[in-house]
Amino acid sequence: MAIDMSQFYQVFFEEAAEHLANMEALLLAIDPATPDEEDVNALFRAAHSIKGSSGTFGFQDMMEVTHILETMLDRVRKGEAPLTDDMVDASLVAGDVLKNLLAAHRGEGEADREAAEAICHRLEALCRSLDTTEQAAGPEVSAVLSTEPISATGFDLYFRLAGDATADAVSLGHLLEELSSFGAVETLAAPADGGRACHLRIVTLADAETLRGVLDFVADGSSIKIEPLLPAAEGEAYGLFSEEALADSEPYGIFEALPEGGAAPVVEEAYGFFSDVGGTTEPYGFFTALPPLPEDPTEQKISEETAYGFFEPIVEILPTEVPSPEVTPAAAAQSVSGSPAAPGSAPVATAAKKTAPRSAPASDSGSIRVSVEKVDQMINLVGELVITQAMLTQAASNVDPVVFERLINGLAQLERNTRDLQESVMSIRMMPISVVFSRFPRVIRDLSQKLGKQVELKTIGETTEMDKSLVERITDPLTHLVRNSLDHGLETPEKRRSAGKPEMGTITLSAYHQSGNIVIEVGDDGAGLNRARILAKAKERGMAVSDSMSDQEVWQLIMEPGFSTAEQVTEVSGRGVGMDVVKKNIAAMGGRVELDSMPGVGTRITVRLPLTLAILDGMSVGVGPETYIIPLGYVMESLQPERGMMKSVSGVERLIQVRGEYLPVICLHEVFRIQGAITDWSKGIMVVLEADGQSAALFIDQLIGQHQVVIKSLEANYRRVQGVAGATIMGDGRVALILDVPILVGMARRVMPAAA
Amino acid sequence: MAKTVLTVDDSASIRQMVSFTLKSAGYEVVEAIDGMDGLDKAKSKAFNLVLTDQNMPRMDGLSLIKSLRAMPTYRTVPILMLTTESSDAMKSQGRAAGATGWLVKPFDPQKLIEVVKKVIG
């Protein structure tokens, strides 16, 4: 029965990624001088777990790295060596290498074999330096790094020689010669030991097929069995059986020894097969009863009492189960698979029947892993359901509410249920922002070392949840902002000291919800933005600036394309990606960036993002025959203009005076060139919008209603249109465009900057 | 009635692999995420075989084996250690704790089935 291991890969990938993230967090938090014992244990366990499962699933390269890492951590854990900064650094690098290897196995990018080998050597050197007399983790373990699953640094070769028995010695000689061209060969069992079976061990880079090709010349094809030699399995796993078992060359000879022990179940003989001498091939073994300890009679009594009776069930099973020595292991397993319960363990089985209540669910860890596609599909379906529900509601709005009372009530119920369903489905995708924040301790650690600055990172509101897709997309822009704060915002310790500030700078990351938005702030207590320098730079770049600009507007300049105030392009920030890209990326997510700064006190960058990208609360408005959606978050108020409120400037542009404030007017029918719209101010509606701290009034024909709409990308289905953020399908099946309010307001402002 | 196996491992991928493998070989398998969880599950049901990892948070494999051996139900139930540590020290500790045998990780599913068959049929 072949089990396809690849079906477990996904779980392994996620698990390994979790362990790696956990490892990194622990490493960053740990103080090498006084490490917490539990933390060191957790570190070791993480490495250990990755090693165990990567080996099992055939990710040899990852196993090799974790093996050495584990070896090193084990020494620390056992108190044999102190934890050093160097170890923490090396472990962090190892974590990065493992992430890279993991990503490569997932098919995301190339494995950096050089880095993997380098870290293996570094860790080995660290291990060796711990104790020069003791042998460190075998260097051969890391000598070969392979990316192919189920590849090994060597193989165990089992086969029977074919042809005339008298020629065995000669054939074997040729074979050994041939094999030695691939690597070091060790003869563990040869025909000279009796029988015609051979067992060779080869340490080689060649693959199993190549070796099989060589063996085919001299061996009986069906008898060839090639097993990868796994580094962790070396030594111990193969060192359990006596030479007799080996001479037989059956790799699974253990049970032949058992009946013997079983036939005479004498305590003294219980260890007959548990021999520590000789090379064996079994990676597993069985303990028997505890040995009597004659020097301590009390102990002996206890050991007799707790002798577990292991032998009996096993012995009873064995006579029926033991395959003849000729049966290959695979055949043996097949022959017994599906066989009825052996009588030997019947007592246990009946006990189980009597006492066993229904078993608990297999895994009740409280969460399940579901692929994102499944969740997305569900969200899409719920989106469609919302549209259908809206359609029904609209269709029912024309019926007589008295006659169709039950229908109307049912629809109201449906609306509530749909909304609840939608909310809970959306919440599945929600992730705490700590997923993003957790990477910053590392970023800051690496960067502050490089820049020679002292930084403390504070995070606030890590449990704030946001949509998974936003989490993924916000990571890069946020990283850039943090790097910027560290590089340009915070001063060097000397400068800080002379400014009377503590040498240790602070970067604060905070996240919170605010009126349907998630707000993420990156703050530093650095020097603040330099208004004069920004203005000078902007002039130099030929940007349209004036000294009367508000601070807000000046700060926004640094997010314009091609603007960079850093006199020297540093290694950290000067990578061609500027604030303009950050702004663009965040805008693409439907978010906005704001900057606040005070000289000498610090800078705060505020990123506002919608909670989700999929659904929006909107106000539908009519202009001529068309319907548009205004995201509700931008709507301040709507009013019917009176003639006296309208003001004109230079005869063309219009302003409306609302509560003493003059707002530019945007005529939606002009923006989208709609025929048949109302042009008489007093007959239409003004919707006052606010975006980016600026207001404008949007002139439309009528208000239709308030809806939750499912956002469909216009870009993906058509193309990007200035002033349109997306589209949605209305209850009647028609498409309505969603307005990009900040762009519209910005357009109005640019046309008449003086109006502000 | 299918024989029941309790697999105790903190690694979800290993648990899943063991579970799938043994289920495909006709066993009923219950998973536990660490020694503590394993002990709880072992108390709620009498298994025919326990497979346990050694290194786990909260309660390790050796402690689990000792605790199980102290329970009348598990005095004779085979317990196998699935471990990456195959040192003699680990083996003698396992033996002293009352383990029936061990299986070194990494192992392939075939071998796991084979060993389990030998032990409980």
Please report the ipTM that was assigned to this predicted complex. 0.81
**Residue type for position A74:** D
Q: Residue A347: is the preceding peptide bond cis (ω within 30°)?
A: no
Q: Smallest CA–CA separation between A435 and chain B, in Å?
A: 21
* A564 pLDDT tier (thresholds 50, 70, 90): low
B43 touches chain A (CB under 8 A): no
The mean pLDDT value for A675-689 works out to: 88
User: Does the pLDDT at position A274 exceed 70?
Assistant: no
The two three-digit tokens of residue A576, written as one number: 């061609």
Residue A694 forms beta bridges with which residues? A691
Handedness of CA A611, A616, A618, A622 (dihedral sign): positive
Q: Give pLDDT, residue A260.
A: 33
Cβ neighbours around A87 below 10 Å, total: 24
User: Does the pLDDT at position A612 exceed 80?
Assistant: no
B110 touches chain A (CB under 8 A): yes
Render pLDDT for A78-129 as a digit per residue (tens, 0 to 9).
877 788 888 888 888 888 888 888 888 888 778 788 888 888 888 888 887 7
User: Does the pLDDT at position A291 exceed 70?
Assistant: no
CB-CB under 8 Å, A236 with B106: no
The mean pLDDT value for A521-546 works out to: 83
Collapsing DSSP to helix, strand or coil, B67 comes out as helix
The two three-digit tokens of residue A234, written as one number: 């070396």
CB-CB under 8 Å, A57 with B16: no
* B75 pLDDT tier (thresholds 50, 70, 90): confident
Window from A432-441, A476-485, A708-717 with minimum mean pLDDT: A708-717
Spell out which residues of chain A touch residue B33, defining contact as CB-CB under 8 Å: 363, 365
Q: Smallest CA–CA separation between B102 and chain A, in Å?
A: 5
CB-CB under 8 Å, A333 with B114: yes
Q: Give pLDDT, residue A275.
A: 30
Render pLDDT for A27-64 as a digit per residue (tens, 0 to 9).
888 887 787 888 888 888 888 888 888 888 888 888 88
Which residue from A120, A113, A140 is spatially nearest to A203, judged by alpha carbons? Answer: A140
**Cβ-nearest to A283 among B16, B107, B109:** B107
Decide if A56 contacts B105 (C-beta within 8 A): yes
Spell out which residues of chain B touch residue A293, defining contact as CB-CB under 8 Å: none
A139: left (phi over 0), alpha (psi -120 to 50) or beta: alpha
**Cβ-nearest to A356 among B45, B99, B102:** B45
Q: Give pLDDT, residue A693.
A: 67
Decide if A412 contacts A448 (C-beta within 8 A): no
CB-CB under 8 Å, A342 with B84: no
Residue of B nearest to A353 (CA): B46
Decide if A309 contacts B76 (C-beta within 8 A): yes
Q: How far apart are CA A242 and CA A663, in angstroms?
A: 94
Render pLDDT for A216-263 as a digit per residue (tens, 0 to 9).
767 777 777 777 765 443 333 322 222 333 333 322 223 223 333 333
Q: Give pLDDT, residue A282.
A: 52
User: Does the pLDDT at position A559 exceed 50?
Assistant: yes
User: Does the pLDDT at position A132 exceed 60?
Assistant: no
Query: Who's near A585: CB < 8 A, 6+ residues apart?
Result: A473, A476, A477
Window from A480-494, A724-738, B84-98 with minimum mean pLDDT: B84-98
Selected residue with higher pLDDT from A730 and A192:
A730
Render pLDDT for A138-186 as a digit per residue (tens, 0 to 9).
444 433 443 344 444 677 777 777 766 667 777 777 777 777 766 667 7
Window from A528-537, A558-567, A681-690 with minimum mean pLDDT: A558-567
CATH number of the domain residue B110 falls in? 3.40.50.2300
Selected residue with higher pLDDT from A367 and A424:
A424
CB-CB under 8 Å, A355 with B73: yes
| Maximal C-alpha separation, chain B | 38
Q: Smallest CA–CA separation between A332 and chain B, in Å?
A: 8
Q: How many helices (H) and strands (E) does chain A have?
A: 26, 23
For residue A628, which phi and psi values (nearest 5 degrees)? -125, 155
User: Does the pLDDT at position A439 exceed 70?
Assistant: yes
Residue of A nearest to B80 (CA): A286
Render pLDDT for A320-372 as a digit per residue (tens, 0 to 9).
333 444 444 444 344 333 344 444 433 433 333 333 344 344 444 567 777 87
Render pLDDT for A581-597 as a digit per residue (tens, 0 to 9).
788 788 777 778 888 88
Collapsing DSSP to helix, strand or coil, A507 comes out as strand
CB-CB under 8 Å, A232 with B17: no
Cβ neighbours around A356 below 10 Å, total: 15
Q: Give pLDDT, residue A700.
A: 92
Averaged pLDDT of chain A: 72
Count how many pairs of residues, chain A against chain B, have C-beta atoms within 8 Å: 207
Q: Give pLDDT, residue A263.
A: 34
User: Does the pLDDT at position A279 exceed 50?
Assistant: no
Render pLDDT for A625-667 as a digit per residue (tens, 0 to 9).
999 999 887 888 899 888 788 887 766 567 888 888 888 888 8
CB-CB under 8 Å, B107 with A284: yes
**Residue type for position A754:** A
Which residue from A597, A584, A600, A618 is spatially nearest to A707, judged by alpha carbons? Answer: A618
The two three-digit tokens of residue A384, written as one number: 């469609």
* A313 pLDDT tier (thresholds 50, 70, 90): very low
Q: Smallest CA–CA separation between A55 and chain B, in Å?
A: 5
The mean pLDDT value for A518-534 works out to: 87
Q: Give pLDDT, residue A241.
A: 28
- Number of domains composing chain B: 1
**Cβ-nearest to A345 among B48, B94, B95:** B48
CB-based burial, A422-444: b 16+ in 10 Å, e otherwise: beebbeebbbbbbbbbbbbbbbb
Domain range spanning residue B78? 4-120
Q: Give pLDDT, residue A131.
A: 63
Q: Smallest CA–CA separation between A350 and chain B, in Å?
A: 10
For residue B95, which phi and psi values (nearest 5 degrees)? -65, -45
Render pLDDT for B19-37 as a digit per residue (tens, 0 to 9).
888 888 888 899 998 888 8
CB-CB under 8 Å, A349 with B29: no
CB-CB under 8 Å, B4 with A356: yes
Spell out which residues of chain B touch residue A327, defining contact as CB-CB under 8 Å: none
* B113 pLDDT tier (thresholds 50, 70, 90): confident
User: Does the pLDDT at position B13 exceed 60?
Assistant: yes
Window from A475-489, B58-72, B83-97 with minimum mean pLDDT: B83-97
